[in-house]
Amino acid sequence: MITAAAPPALPMRGAARGPVRWAEAFGDGPQAPLLPAEAAHVAGRPERRTRQFTVARTLARRALGQLGFAPSPLLPGAGGAPVWPDGVVGSITHCDGYTACAVAPAGRLASLGIDAEPARPLPVGILGLTASAAERAGLAQLPPGLVPWDRLLFSTKEAVYKAWYPLTRQWAPLVEMPVTVCPDGTFTTHRDGQTLTGHWHHAGGILITTIALP
């Protein structure tokens, strides 16, 4: 079943919102037929992966259509990052219960990163692997009970990673993606002397995080 979020949950705000186009779905999500190259890519993969890949491509075509792009295969490239049509930057996320794709003209943004996670605490041990001591101390200062902050921090780091990877082409552990989460729906990260602000949202049992690099 598809449960549309209204208004859209993807927290693209401020400067990022203007050039960004997106499509998102709660629940199982729509599954339009894959293009032949995409179908070949997922042939023989587990059903869950095929479904996630298909919903993501369905939503990606909707988002790209808003930028005027006709359907074309959207395949994973180096490091798993999607190979967008020339002139486009974008990001995809899927977790149980939510899928989204955000895109923008490359002339307007350098990169985009989005991530979604179930709004449940992280499994034991993951925070220690992915967050620095300073970040873990910062989580302890946040108001208890609002959201599972450890999972939110993890999601912000994945969004930052997805935004940086297409620019650097270098794998890096999440612990090296410094993030400060704020309870007002924003987070900040630092890179090359710049402070960048992302946004987070809690909707329908899902934590959704986005960052746009200008």
Ligand X SMILES: CC(C)(COP(=O)(O)OP(=O)(O)OC[C@H]1O[C@@H](n2cnc3c(N)ncnc32)[C@H](O)[C@@H]1OP(=O)(O)O)[C@@H](O)C(=O)NCCC(=O)NCCS
Residues that bind ligand X (CB under 6 A): 53, 56, 76, 79-82, 92-95, 115, 126, 129-130, 158, 161-162, 165-166, 173-174
Minimum CB distance to ligand X, residue 181 (Å): 17
- The nearer residue to ligand X, 36 or 145, going by C-beta atoms, is 36
- The nearer residue to ligand X, 125 or 143, going by C-beta atoms, is 125
Residue with tokens 């899927």: 94
Residue with tokens 């709660």: 26
Using CB positions, name the residue nearest to ligand X.
80
Minimum CB distance to ligand X, residue 158 (Å): 4
Q: 25: Cβ–Cβ under 8 A, 6 or more apart, which residues?
A: 2, 3, 4, 55, 59, 98, 99, 100
d(CA 104, CA 84) in angstroms, rounded, equals 10
- The nearer residue to ligand X, 35 or 174, going by C-beta atoms, is 174
- The nearer residue to ligand X, 19 or 82, going by C-beta atoms, is 82
Minimum CB distance to ligand X, residue 170 (Å): 9
Minimum CB distance to ligand X, residue 25 (Å): 13
Q: 199: Cβ–Cβ under 8 A, 6 or more apart, which residues?
A: 11, 12, 13, 14, 16, 185, 186, 187, 209, 210, 211
Asked whether 23 and 57 are in contact (CB, 8 A), the reply is no
